[in-house]
């Protein structure tokens, strides 16, 4: 299944690892911040409705 | 229905809530199909060997790094001219995505360059202008964080974005301007002689579509977040003033 990457296996695999790692990290961080900010806004809006 | 209606934050959030899930699914499908096709089912290049497989990450990331800045430029101009907060926040939301794409382009370029050129880095016109573009991304994000007033931050970052656009365009056309350095010309061209071979071209197109869709999905999600963060700050300020 794995293609024969020859002498350049290290270069090709590290390029994929770095890129996919950065993309996954960016997506996870974006989702995490979206959830955190939404929760913070809900909290402030609930507090505003009570007062 | 006018495009300007989406300058209303509520309408923007309602619209993006609807389109985000299919957009994200499509982005993942394109990325998975394109990368698997490119990595497993394309041959080695007769000169570059298996390193040609890096093209499926390097070229789309480079395209997105430049075009993210150009999108920020359009959004900044809209802010300067029409004062729509959503456009300023969209530019802010796009910056970390563009910066990540720039890092991927620089990293994969260095990893690819080492076996092909015998060096990780050279002060070549395209590489240098790309590095400067990355520094502009860092400066742009730092400026947003450094200024407390949102409108002042949007004004100043818009000006910085206008200046940085010179380097965004330069990193695209540097090879044509100077015609020197290690980096070859564009991989994609309308001229069939200059364009990459079809066997690499079609999976590359799928990967580019995946990167574009991922960028749009992330910018929508992050713009929603920036709109909510701005509203939270405004409500807290109102509470303190009361």
pLDDT in tens, B74-88: 999 999 999 999 999
Answer yes or no: pTM beyond 0.95.
no
Q: Decide if B214 touches A, using CB distance below 8 A.
A: yes
B160: closest CA among B133, B140, B134, B138?
Answer: B140
Whole-number Å distance between alpha carbons of A13 and B64 = 22
Rounded to a whole number of angstroms, the distance from the CA of B160 to the nearest CA of chain A is 24
Rounded to a whole number of angstroms, the distance from the CA of B212 to the nearest CA of chain A is 13
B112: closest CA among A18, A2, A3?
Answer: A18
The residue-averaged pLDDT of B166-182 equals 70
pLDDT class of B182 with cuts at 50, 70, 90: low
Contact assignment for B108 to A33 by CB distance below 8 Å: no
pLDDT in tens, A1-51: 788 888 899 999 999 999 999 999 999 999 999 999 999 999 999 987 776
Interface A:B, Cβ pairs < 8 A: 93
Whole-number Å distance between alpha carbons of B76 and B84 = 10
pLDDT in tens, B30-67: 999 999 999 999 998 888 899 999 999 999 999 999 99
């Amino acid at each position: 299944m794995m293609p024969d990457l020859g002498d350049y296996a290290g270069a090709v695999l590290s390029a994929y690892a770095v890129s996919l790692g950065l993309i996954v990290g960016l997506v996870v961080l974006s989702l995490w911040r979206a959830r955190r900010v939404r929760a913070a806004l809900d909290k402030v809006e609930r507090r505003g409705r009570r007062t | 229905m006018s495009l300007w209606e989406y300058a209303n934050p509520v309408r923007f959030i309602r619209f993006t809530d609807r389109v985000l899930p299919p957009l994200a699914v499509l982005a993942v499908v394109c990325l998975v199909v394109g990368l698997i096709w490119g990595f497993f089912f394309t041959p080695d290049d007769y000169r570059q060997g298996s390193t040609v497989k890096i093209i499926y990450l390097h070229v789309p990331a480079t395209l997105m790094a430049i075009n993210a800045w150009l999108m920020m430029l359009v959004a900044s101009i809209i802010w300067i001219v029409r004062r729509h907060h959503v456009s300023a926040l969209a530019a802010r939301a796009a910056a970390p995505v563009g910066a990540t794409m720039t890092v991927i382009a620089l990293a994969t370029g260095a990893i690819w360059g080492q076996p092909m050129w015998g060096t990780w880095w050279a002060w070549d016109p395209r590489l240098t202008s790309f590095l400067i573009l990355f520094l502009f991304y860092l400066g742009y994000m730092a400026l947003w964080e450094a200024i407390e007033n949102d409108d002042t931050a949007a004004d100043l970052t818009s000006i910085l974005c206008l200046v940085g656009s010179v380097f965004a365009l330069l990193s695209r056309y540097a090879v044509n301007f100077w015609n020197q350095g290690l980096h070859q010309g564009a991989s994609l061209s309308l001229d069939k002689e200059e364009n990459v071979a079809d066997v690499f071209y079609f999976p590359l197109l799928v990967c580019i579509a995946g990167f574009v869709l991922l960028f749009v999905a992330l910018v929508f999600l992050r713009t929603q977040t920036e709109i909510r963060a701005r509203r939270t700050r405004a409500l807290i300020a109102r509470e303190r003033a009361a």
